[in-house]
Structure 1
Amino acid sequence: MRPPRTIAVVAHQRKTLDGGLDELRRRITDHKIKKLFWYEIPKSRKAPDRVRKALRKDPDLIVVWGGDGMVQRTLDVVAGSDVPVAIMPAGTGNLFAGNLGIPTDLEQAVEIAFSGRRRRLDLGRLDLGGLGGEHFAVMAGVGFDGAMIKDADGDLKDRLGKLAYVWTGIRHVGAEAPRTRIEVDGTPWFDDAASCVLIGNVGTITGGIRAFDDATPTDGWLDVGVATAQGALQWARALGTMAVGRSDHSPFVRTTRARRVDVRLAGKLPYELDGGARGRTRKFSASVVPGAVRVCVPQSSGDSTDR
């Protein structure tokens, strides 16, 4: 593998890791690169414009500094290109990085950027009909999950970190469970009341919960989960089962795998992508995009083949 000589960094100014962005710059320039393009932004939603500018510089590597929101918005733009992405996990949850074995240690993360494997990974893509769509790396969720993340997003998450999800989750355990119709690969699969629908590209989601035991972002599949739990007692039983065993062993959870998922809800509910709150919707489709991006991962990560 030829060492990257032209590097583009897209960084969330409010996210921190070890010595911060000054240390990141020093560690990158230690590798005797030829050019360094640097973009700092105050909010992750501004990332796509900077990533597009970075791609026009024809970099050998894009380095993204931030949490799952920054990573999701970066990969959404990079998807389909051949430019590898290195993740500096400076966010709250760092779910995608954690699933890939990228540590929250700046020295090690930079070393993976320069010496790790460039691995082809799947993404999911969520589409809202005529309203367009976005790629996601970790999960898409609607219902309890979407409402929890919507309330935790912003100042509360900045103050409490991961505890923000616990606090808002408690508030939403009694939320409505509308009738939900789901088709997987064109076949009817679920038609009943559901408090939460999750579509995962990896196994571990918000709060460190292992929601999809067999999920991997290299298998060409999305994992689908529906929770029917209502009220504190049923949610406690469902989450307890996930904590000590397989999620699909819970009587309040149903799972399957699909390449395309179509979801129709009786009413509009908030949805989220990779822990980032979006709007409200009553229908959406999600499909897998195999090998959509190249991501720098540890040499020992996953199987021995890249796509």
Structure 2
Amino acid sequence: MISGVSDVAATTGRLPLDSLQFGLLAVALLVVVVVVSVASGPRGRKAIPALRADATAGVRRVDEDYRHVPGQLAPLEPQAVVVVQPVKYPEGSAARRTVERVFAELDLQAPVWLETSEEDPGAGQARRAASLDPEVVLVLGGDGTVRSVAAGLAGTSIPLGLLPGGTGNLFARQLKLELNDLARATREALTGKDKRVDVGRVSLDGGEEDTFLVMAGVGFDAEMMAGAPAAIKDRVGPLAYVVSGARRLRGRSIPLTIQVDDDEPVEARVRMAVVGNCGTLIGGLILIPDAEVDDGNLDVLTLSPRGLADWVKVGVRLVLRRRDDREEPFERQGRRIVITCEEPQQAQMDGDVIGKVREIRLHVEPGALVIRTPDGRVPRRADRLTAALRR
């Protein structure tokens, strides 16, 4: 116990206010670990080192009318296309030059660059890239760009290579890909092996389907993201979620129904319900232990903490990687999952707030996406647990 607390407790029979404040701060920080892991990821990633002045700079571009012509020879059939978020990585940026330098070092023709836009964050560029029939499509951008490009490539045989271009790099973390060295990540994406993985599809209140790669859900996590003012996030980043989360720690439970495949629907009152294609958060925190990115299933998990003490238990279990099935109202696998709320609730998908919904229908498309990894493998549950124990 913190020095001085035991004496006060002995004389008054209760903890001082500072201890309660400390407890709330601890819970808020645990909440940031769990939710910000999905929403934004850690800051402070190592900067890309400065490049030589003579770094290769050959850049090929594709205009709106360019289309693949069957039977035509290179250079119209590029070896690789890079879909890039131009706001983060404009033409001439160090990151782009790093990628081009690796192509030159491997004696490959310069890549075709396709830039995303506010109107089209990546899916359209992925389809255009596929029309060029490249050997691989690389993506350099944030998690939203990765998700959009994956949506455009799903169902094709063209592999997707992930470059560390975001703050969170959520999907790349699940696959244990290189996160800090852009040159190494580019080299591995160009010389690695291919592996098919699952993608999740989600429909909100009967609307059009969208794609997610990591997690989607309703409740506390989405409420926290939605409640963090943009102005504060711009100034303090993930700390904005501390304020938002602290205000919602004692929120009401959500009455909802969960149906997995053709099983009988299960009614529950929960604080949050999460469906995962992957199950590990940033820092090695295992939220959904049984989730595998290539098992042909989605995993649904609910959490129902009733107050401060319960939130502390949730945070401790995540940090210590312990499971207590008696404290989890619901944890199952299936190919199709339907979550129906009595009233509209805030929802999120791969960390992006998607508004209030009443019904979420999710299903998995097994092996729909080809990804490029160094050895053609993806981490298994045993690998994740072993890595976690070593930290």
Pairwise TM-score range, normalised by the shorter structure: 0.7 to 0.9
Sort the Cα spacing of 1:134 and 1:29 in 2 relative to 1 into closer, same or farther, 3 A. Answer: farther
The aligned length equals: 300
CA–CA separation in structure 2 for the residues paired with 1:121 and 1:22: 30
CA–CA separation in structure 2 for the residues paired with 1:253 and 1:112: 41
Sort the Cα spacing of 1:295 and 1:138 in 2 relative to 1 into closer, same or farther, 3 A. Answer: same
Corresponding residue for residue 97 of structure 1: 172
Sort the Cα spacing of 1:27 and 1:201 in 2 relative to 1 into closer, same or farther, 3 A. Answer: same
Corresponding residue for residue 73 of structure 1: 148
Are positions 1:21 and 2:135 aligned together?
Answer: no
Amino acid at match of 2:250: G
Are positions 1:286 and 2:359 aligned together?
Answer: no
Amino acid at match of 1:56: S
Corresponding residue for residue 302 of structure 1: 378
Question: 1:158 offset after TM fit, Å?
Answer: 5.5
3-state SS in 2 of match to 1:74 = helix
Corresponding residue for residue 268 of structure 2: 192
Question: 1:285 offset after TM fit, Å?
Answer: 0.9
CA–CA separation in structure 1 for the residues paired with 2:173 and 2:119: 19
3-state SS in 2 of match to 1:109 = helix
- What do residues 90-140 of structure 1 show as CA deviations (whole Å, max 9, x unaligned)? 212212101101121212211220122211001111122531111211011
- What do residues 246-284 of structure 1 show as CA deviations (whole Å, max 9, x unaligned)? 345461553111111011001111211111221221001
Are positions 1:8 and 2:104 aligned together?
Answer: no
Q: Please tell me whether the aligned partners of residues 222 and 353 of structure 2 are also in contact (alpha carbons under 8 angstroms).
A: yes
**RMSD of equivalent CA atoms:** 2.7
- Normalising by structure 2, we get a TM-score of 0.69
Q: Percent identity?
A: 30
CA–CA separation in structure 2 for the residues paired with 1:303 and 1:170: 34
Sort the Cα spacing of 1:248 and 1:15 in 2 relative to 1 into closer, same or farther, 3 A. Answer: farther
Aligned equivalent of 2:299, options 183, 198, 223: 223
Which structure 1 residue ranges, 5 or more long, are not aligned?
none
3-state SS in 2 of match to 1:187 = coil
Q: Please tell me whether the aligned partners of residues 215 and 223 of structure 1 are also in contact (alpha carbons under 8 angstroms).
A: yes
Q: How does 1:145-156 map to 2 (within 5 A)?
A: 145-151=221-227
- What do residues 24-55 of structure 1 show as CA deviations (whole Å, max 9, x unaligned)? 23223433333522123355952222222222
Greater Rg over alpha carbons, structure: 2
Which structure 2 residue ranges, 5 or more long, are not aligned?
1-76, 381-391
Q: Please tell me whether the aligned partners of residues 216 and 347 of structure 2 are also in contact (alpha carbons under 8 angstroms).
A: yes
Corresponding residue for residue 172 of structure 1: 248
CA–CA separation in structure 1 for the residues paired with 2:227 and 2:195: 34
CA–CA separation in structure 2 for the residues paired with 1:20 and 1:274: 24
- Which structure is higher in strand share? 1
CA–CA separation in structure 1 for the residues paired with 2:96 and 2:346: 34
3-state SS in 2 of match to 1:8 = strand
Q: Please tell me whether the aligned partners of residues 125 and 133 of structure 1 are also in contact (alpha carbons under 8 angstroms).
A: yes
| Structure 1 range deviating more: 48-57 or 134-143 | 48-57
Sort the Cα spacing of 1:82 and 1:188 in 2 relative to 1 into closer, same or farther, 3 A. Answer: same
